[in-house]
Amino acid sequence: MPNGETVTTEWVAFSNLSADFSIGRQTADGSVQEDYCPGVYTYELQHAVTSTGNTVTGDGFSGVLLVHRNRVLATMILDGHQWELAPEVLDLKSQAFVGDYVLFDVAQSAGTNSFTCAVQDQHSRVYRMERMQRSLARENANPDCVEIALDVDNYTFGTFGNNCNAAVDWAVGVLAGVDLIYRNELNDLITLQATYVNVWETPEPWANIVNNAGSMLESFRTTWLTDSDLSTQQRDFVHLMTRRGDSGTGGIAYLDGVCNSYGYGFSAGMSAASDFIPLPSYSWNLDVVAHELGHNFGSNHTHWCGWSGSADHPSGTAGGAIDGCYGAEGSCSDGPSVSSGTIMSYCHLNVGKTLQFHPVVEQQAFFPSLTNAPCFGGCVPTVTSCDIGCTDPTACNYSENAIEDDGSCSYDVDECGVCGGNNESCGGCTDPSACNYDPSAPVDDESCTYAPPGYSCDCTSNIGLVADLGASQSSSSTLEATGNLAAIEVTLVWVNTNNDGSWAGDALIEVSAPDGSCFSVGGYNVSSSCALGTFAWPSGWNVSGSGTYTHSIDVSDLGMGGDGSWQLNVINGWTNSGGVNYDFNVTLSGVCTGPPTFGGCTDPEACNYDASATLDDGSCDLGTPAYFDGDGDGYGQFFAQYFCGSVTPAGTVLLDGDCNDANSTMYPSAPGTAIGIDNNCNGVIDADEEEIVCPEDVNNDGAISVADVLALLSSFGCLEACEYDVDGDEAISVADVLLVLSAFGQSCE
């Protein structure tokens, strides 16, 4: 870059070839139809960052990169400048570059081109529109396909060493760049799709027409309408690309050839290469083709006097010529001087230009023509009959139809079962505690997000703003909050105070996180500097009627989060607005306000008391209950306390249910003592607990006699489980004998 910085760019592949794309070769033996195997790969500029970390944007940020079999070409708009990357020298015979590549500012290059074009006004009906119609071109997710058939004449075929494929690659590459220009400039309202390329390997019918562009164009049109092979080819427009310099003009096209038989034009003086010296020819090729197709779409030159006055016209309501790079076409004064021109101008003759369309050209020519065109339809996926892919049978992505290896062979299958994959197709968050937990994900992709400590995953916060704002004025509101922003829900109560051409969709809002990162939504011709990008309002917002408007946007992929000041900045995004009233309420999903709530045990007496907990979650653990054991039988009758840990307090036991803590023979499951008390504490006197009336009658015959003495003496000395134990001391001794003798002769009945 001029300031010494380097720029790192990111490109994404695209194709503008139709599913049934083929080529025609007009040979000495007649017409030959062939399938086409692309020798050029096309890429679109997606992102650019300087060596200092700044994102490159600027007016019209765009670019196209062509990778041919033996060279690379690119053109891009960065910081409002048109840049081109090209080999310094190219051998046209071998189509191989020699030397270094050069990156240069097209407007500052040494070469010039005296191109002017003629416009055949066969269909001169030019539509006009007001600002309201611009909404039709905003963020079209499904662009209509404009099918383009290309023609390469015999002279140009010869400049490629009579190599048909090289000529086709060149033509397709140029159209790919023009397609990107139209998609970027018209917000994907249309895409230009190549359906057919015809190459003249023998002289074409107009080969001998010299310096008569009108006759050459009509001969070209008539040939395509009457030739049996060409007339049947599917197309909306047909465009001739020629390197001839003797056509009498740099290019010519019928004006307003949409959906009729006049969709024809040609670009002349084109370059087959892209040499730095003497001319930035790839950008030139794109310029001339985009210019001539612009006439087919219904646009006059920018120096035409017929442009109506509008808010975007440099002369305001006066209208007339848009710029003064060339003498006015019509009975009006020359337009204002400009520092850089646009595609439909002749500004390359003096001040230079960028590959963009002027807003007036878009509003008054392109949009009316395109939105009233019934012949344009949807695009179909690009398929080529000669597949390029992996030719190694041992690879997991081997293609048996591939005839050319593209270096894509892969030999590893990821955990998702995808050949050459990186687990993205089945990856997700595998942490159940995360807000975005995915129970079906077998592989963690490190995408887990968590609620801020003390908050839930589903918390939301609201930030509002009410303001009367004139053109480009702004107002902001802040909110102290914390979290990770997942989505926004916007409600706007909007009043068109002056009932002018303002729209609700002119509103440009910027949502900023505490770290300063931000994204924007909306705006008309006021832009945002937020690095995370700009979203669009729904098309239903592009109206002037006061009312309530709502919209939701998923922004979880932006990674915005933090604790501190979140900001909503509202800007009146139309520079010509007479003033409106905004009443915004924006709900931030995943962003939380208020004091955090920490769940836990709030009982200071509990074993797991949490002093930081602000909300009792029912988890309190009071500990283990202990009971007083006064008689030492291992059971307690009265509760003593709860205790934490594993050490039981002295004088207490863990078991309760004792019915008399003063008698050690009374506790649950205790054996009976036959003295008439409830030893086992079950509430009844069991048989072994009943009191024995005559214990000396050991044989239970109703009398105390010699038989009792003999029975006692037969077990004398028993120390355990003694059947005739009279005194209940679990042993038979002299004491038992004395008791029997003292009651000798008594009756127990």
Residue 617 is predicted with a pLDDT of 87
Q: Angle 281-296/164-185 helices, nearest 10 degrees?
A: 70
Q: Pick the residue with more confidence: 318 or 377?
A: 318
pLDDT at 607 (0 to 100): 94
Residue 13 located in a structural domain: yes
Segment 2-20 mean pLDDT: 69
Residues 6+ apart with CB under 8 A from 697: 703, 704, 708, 748
Highest mean pLDDT pick, 158-162, 242-246, 551-555, 609-613: 551-555
What local confidence, expressed as pLDDT, does residue 24 receive? 67
CATH number of the structural domain spanning residue 731: 1.10.1330.10
Asked if residue 107 is part of any domain, the answer here is: no
Query: Looking at residue 122, what is its pLDDT?
Result: 47
pLDDT tens readout for residues 520-538: 999 999 999 999 989 999 9
Question: Mind listing the pLDDT tens digit for each residue in 640-671?
Answer: 899 999 999 999 999 999 999 999 999 999 99
Beta bridge partners of 625: 642
Boundary residue ending a domain (348, 371, 394): 371
CB-side neighbour CA atoms (13 Å) of 500:
15
Q: By mean pLDDT, which of 229-243, 281-295, 549-563 is the weakest?
A: 281-295
CB 621 within 8 A of CB 600: no
User: Residue 735: is its pLDDT beyond 70?
Assistant: yes
Q: Classify burial at 70, counting beta carbons within 10 Å of its beta carbon; exposed 0-12, middle 13-18, buried 19 or more.
A: middle
Q: How confident is the model at residue 82 (pLDDT cuts 50, 70, 90)?
A: low
pLDDT given at position 124: 33
Query: Which domain covers residue 529, as residue numbers?
Result: 460-592
Residue 335: inside a domain:
yes
pLDDT digits (tens, 9 = 90+) for 492-520: 999 999 999 999 999 999 999 999 999 99
For the segment 82-86, the average pLDDT, to the nearest whole number, is 68
Give the tens place of pLDDT for each residue, 449-491. Answer: 888 888 888 899 999 999 999 999 999 999 999 999 999 999 9
Which of 592, 608, 632 terminates a domain? The answer is: 592
One domain, residues 539 and 661: no
Most confident range (mean pLDDT) of 47-61, 231-245, 364-378 is: 231-245
CA distance linking residue 31 with residue 228, whole number of Å? 10
Q: What is the mean pLDDT of residues 562-568?
A: 96
What local confidence, expressed as pLDDT, does residue 379 receive? 65
Residues 399-424, mean pLDDT to the nearest whole number: 81
In this prediction, residues 209-219 reach a mean pLDDT of: 94
The percent of residues in the chain predicted with pLDDT above 70, rounded, is: 82
Q: Is residue 748 part of a domain?
A: no
Please give the mean pLDDT across all residues of the chain. 83
Q: Do residue 539 and residue 672 come from a single domain? A: no
In percent, the amount of the chain with pLDDT more than 90 equals 46
Strand duo 547-554 + 474-495: pairing: antiparallel
Count CA atoms within 13 Å of residue 324 on its CB side: 10
Burial 77-92 (b: 16+ CB within 10 A, else e): bbbebbbbbbbeebee
Q: Are residues 490 and 602 in the same domain?
A: no
In terms of domains, do 658 and 537 share one? no
Do 617 and 646 lie in one domain? The reply is yes
Q: If pLDDT is split at 50, 70 and 90, which confidence band does 573 have?
A: very high
- Evaluate whether residue 421 is within a structural domain: no
Q: Report the alpha-carbon distance of residue 615 to residue 602 in Å, rounded.
A: 7
Does 407 reside within a domain? no
On the CB side of 639, how many CA atoms lie within 13 Å of its CA? 5
Q: Which residue has the tokens 């355990």?
A: 720
| Domains identified in the chain, total number | 4
Residues 291 and 321 occupy one common structural domain: yes
Q: Does residue 552 fall inside a structural domain?
A: yes
* CATH of residue 310: 3.40.390.10
Q: 219 and 365, same structural domain?
A: yes
The verdict on 559 and 636 lying in the same domain is: no
Q: What is the pLDDT of residues 129-177, one digit of tens each?
A: 223 333 333 344 578 889 999 999 999 999 888 888 788 888 888 898 8
Q: Which of 371, 392, 420 is the last residue of a domain?
A: 371
Instruction: Check whether residue 656 and residue 703 sit in a common domain.
Output: no
The CATH number assigned to the domain holding 509 equals: 2.60.120.380
Is 702 in the same domain as 678?
Answer: no
Average confidence (pLDDT) over 203-232: 94
Chain position carrying tokens 């003497």: 278
CA dihedral sign of residues 600, 606, 608, 609 = positive
| 729 shares its domain with 659 | no
Q: Which of 80-89, 441-450, 582-591, 684-693 has the highest mean pLDDT?
A: 582-591
Comparing CA positions, the residue from 508, 488, 492 lying closest to residue 555 is: 488
Name every residue whose Cβ is closer than 8 Å to that of residue 291 and which is 6 or more positions away in sequence.
117, 251, 267, 343, 344
Q: For position 279, what pLDDT does the model report?
A: 37
Q: What is the pLDDT of residue 132?
A: 30
Average pLDDT over residues 42-57: 72
The answer as to whether 163 is a domain residue is: yes
Mean per-residue pLDDT for 617-637? 93
pLDDT at 81 over 80: no
Same domain, 686 and 701: no
Tell me, what's the pLDDT at 557? 87
